[in-house]
Every structure is written in C-alpha cells, then in structure tokens.
Amino acid sequence: MSAETFRRDLPSVGGTDQDNMMAGRAGNREHPRPACPDRAHPGVSWPRAVCDEMARIFRRKKVLWLVLLAAVVVFTLAVLQSSGNPTELRAPVMVDVVVTPSNTADVSGYVSGQVKYLNFIISDNVTKPSPTCSPIHNIAFLKTHKAGSSTVTSILQRYGMTRNLQFALPDKPSHTFAYNYLSKPGGRLTLQAVIPLLPGKEEYNILCNHAVYNRTAFRLIMPSDTVYISILREPFSQVESIFEYYGVIGSLARVNPSIRNFTNPLSEFFSNPYKYEKGNVHFSYLRNKQAEDFGLSVDELFSPSKFDEYLQQLSQDFLLVMIMEYFDESLLLLKHALCWDTKDILFIPKNKNGRKPRRNFTDEDRKRHRKLSSLDYKLYDFFLKRLQDELSRQSEDFFQELDNFRSLLTQVKHTCETKSSFFYVTATRWYDAFNVTAEDCNILRMPELVALDVLLKRARPPVVTPTPLSGSKIH
C-alpha cells in the first residue's frame, strides 16, 4: 500500500477535521517536510504528516493509560486504608455524598428532597460529633394495639437483652391467655402484677408489654428518671388491621350472625354498630381502642374540658409519641432522644398481616368511624401535629441521616434473610463502624413472644435444691 493510499484511509480519530485537512495538505506542498522511516519495514518511509498524526494518537493513548493506572492506585489505597486488613471482605456500604437537595423537607405528607447514597467503600476517617450524652436505659413504652408497637417492642427487647437490663414483666404462667399483658381494660396495674426484681437488681429498666396507661401505677413500678414513649396509628387503618388480625367478626357474629353474609362486614358494622355490640359500648377493639390504651375513659369522652386536660398531661408525660405513618422518622427521633446508636434501632417488622383482604370503603364509612372513635382521632391528630412540628425543626442533616438509615435497613433485611447473615458497616458522621453478625440477625428475626419467653426465663431463675452429700443423714 502506498503512502498516498494510507493517507486517504487514515481515520480521523485523535484529531479534528482541521488537523486531518492540514495533514493532507502537508503531503502536497512544493517543499514537503522530510519523510520518517518505518522501523518495522526497513527502506520504507512515510510522509511527515502521517508520522505526526500517529505520534499524536500515541501520546493521547499514553495519557489515558496513565490516568487509568492512577485511578486504580487511588482506589486500592482507599480500600486498604478503610479495611486495615487487605484480606478482609466487606459488603457494599453507604457512602456519604455531599449533595444540596433542590427541595426542603415536606412533613405534611412525605419527606422529599432527600440525599441519595452510593454503594461503595470509603475510609473510616469521617467526621463524627463526639457524644455529648449518655444512653438512656430506663424506658416505659406504652404498647398500643396494631400500631407498629410489636416492632418497637422487639427493638426494646433486643436492647435490654444484650445489656442484661431488668424488664418489668407480667407475673403470669407462660403461654396462658394474655400472658403478655400487665393489665387490661377494666383491670388495675399493680406492682404485684410484675415479676419481682432479680437479686442484685435495684430497679426495673424497661416496661414494654401491653398495659393500660395509669400515671400513678406506672410510676410506682418504674424509676423516677424513666422516659415514657408510645406509638399511634391513623385510626381508620388501625381498625382495619385490628378487625382482621383479631378476627373480630367472630365476636360480632355471636351477637348477630347475619354479619357474615356481607362482603364487607366492617362497613356493615360502621353503618349499624349497635346491631352487633351489646349495650352502650364506647370502647372496644373497633371503638377508641388507642384512646383506651392511653387510659382515656367516658369522662374524657363526654367532657371536652377533661379531655383537653388529660391530653395536656399526656403531652407532658410522654417524651415521644411515635406515629406509624412516620415510623422511620420517629425511630430516628427516638435514637437522638435516648442517645442510642444506629445499630440499636435496626429492625425487621413484626406481626405484619400480609394476608389482610382488600376491602373497599366509602367516605361515608370513614365519617361513621370518626364519629364512633372520636377520641382516637383527636388523640392521633394531636400527636401527629406534635411530631410534624418536631420534624419541621430538624436540620438538613437529620433528613440525610434518615435517608442513610433507610438504605441501611434495606441492607439489614436483605442480609438477615440470606444465609450469609453478616456484613460490615463503615463509619459515617452519624455512627461508628459496626458489624451485623449472624447472632444479631437471629435476634432481629426473633418474634416478639419468643423474645418474651427468653426474658421470662431470665427473670425466673431455676430454684436449685441442695443435694445431700453421699452417706450423710438428714435428722
């Protein structure tokens, strides 16, 4: 192939159109530049323009290779620095990325404009504020019905179980009816209903089983520095869940079996409640159940002033009333309030009813339920606003931490549902590095009542009967 043919076929990659045009003109000049020899083929020479173009392409490829090599070196050093052990394997973790959100937090519906994170490995030398508080161990959790309370309870159980804290547990035989209740509506919560303290323990640390709230009774059981928390759920979704989970249709059918003939028995109940409940009922599984858990009575139902007074007292008593519809946000607020670590609030949801049938409800159904459960709606609306106000006061950093926490939860759930059951979480500015081990996964997956059985066994150590020495006589 001649030099002229090579020049016509020379690709334009590596040079602009102007460069190639100049290279073509160079070969037609009256006084061309000296040719360059072809080292691979002795005796063959090429026009200088062709040599210049090839040299330019070679230089650019050389620069690209050098840049790529430098990137590989930097990445390798970062991995070694973060691991401290070049043979240690790590799962992908969340990397803190500095991004300025285009939107601010919208707490009226859902949080928008949250910062996203990348699956990658970074070094541990990140900025993290020094702790300025001590973890709180004395906690009373008012456990409401079908409001996400079992998941919160499992978090508290795991926290106390791994730190050998003393639980205020119901003094009832295991696996008997309502053995996980300290008190029920109509009953009284007393110190005698609680398993006595273990030898060497001076006070109870955690109360998290079902109990109707009674301010005096709770304070007779728990220390004076106890932090009180609870959780509420939007009342209509809560009554839907209760109806299915507890099989309430059975008790309604005992009063009037015709309710089983309706495709939507709950809607039928809303339209004719007195047809299916005996007497003048104001509190039941389907009426004001959350208000009943909080200790409200007919006094507050029929006296707005007494209700307002009781509500203000609850607001003073409870440091945090979580909202199920803001579950992750509530947990993060709880973490900050209790001065806990992020690992302490990891969770896998408990007691979710995945087989709940889909029923169609009308606006009229919702209005009727609001009238039947007016205290539940007032209570929920009050603490919903309080939580939203608290969220509106949070900084951008809170919502960045929230986004990171949600990514971490997804990873925990995936890991604990696989056989590997182990991963390493590198430090961020919100928490130190930690492991999630197979043992952690076992506790995270543990059902609430199984954890209760473990705690009950710890709270009731077996009585050891002395065995007489061989040959001794008992007089």
Separation between Cα atoms, residue 5 and residue 2, nearest integer Å: 5
CB 387 within 8 A of CB 322: yes
Name the CA dihedral angle for 207, 211, 214, 217, rounded to a multiple of 10 degrees: -50
Instruction: Indicate the residue among 83, 112, 127 that finishes a domain.
Output: 83
In this prediction, residue 110 carries a pLDDT of: 29
61 and 178 share one domain? no
194 and 276 share one domain? yes
In this prediction, residue 192 carries a pLDDT of: 94
Radius of gyration of the chain (CA): 34
What do you get for the CA distance between the two ends of the chain, in Å? 121
74 and 154 share one domain? no
Separation between Cα atoms, residue 349 and residue 341, nearest integer Å: 19
> How many distinct structural domains can be found in the chain?
2
Give the bridge partners for 431, in sequence order: none
**Helix (H, G, I), strand (E, B), or coil: what is residue 229?**
strand
Instruction: Indicate the residue among 38, 64, 83 that finishes a domain.
Output: 83
78 and 217 share one domain? no
71 and 146 share one domain? no
Q: What is the pLDDT along the chain (475 residues), one digit of tens a residue?
A: 444 444 444 444 444 444 444 444 444 444 455 556 655 556 656 666 666 766 777 677 677 777 777 777 666 665 454 444 333 323 333 333 222 233 333 333 323 322 222 232 222 333 354 568 899 999 999 999 999 999 999 999 999 999 999 999 999 999 999 999 999 998 889 999 999 999 989 999 999 999 999 999 999 999 999 999 999 999 999 999 999 999 999 999 999 999 999 999 999 999 999 999 887 889 999 999 999 999 999 999 999 999 999 999 999 999 999 999 999 999 999 999 999 999 999 999 887 766 677 899 999 999 999 999 999 999 999 999 999 999 999 999 999 999 999 999 999 988 888 866 788 999 999 999 999 998 999 999 999 999 999 999 999 877 666 666 655 544 4
In this prediction, residue 100 carries a pLDDT of: 28
Q: What is the CATH number of the domain that holds 180?
A: 3.40.50
pTM of the shown model:
0.71
Look up the domain containing 52 and give its range. Answer: 3-83
Task: Report residue 376: phi and psi, to 5°.
Answer: -60, -45
87, with CB counted inside 10 A (0-12, 13-18, 19+), is exposed
79 and 152 share one domain? no
Separation between Cα atoms, residue 368 and residue 183, nearest integer Å: 30
Residue 51 lies in a domain: yes
463: which DSSP letter? Answer: P
Residue 419 lies in a domain: no
190 and 334 share one domain? yes
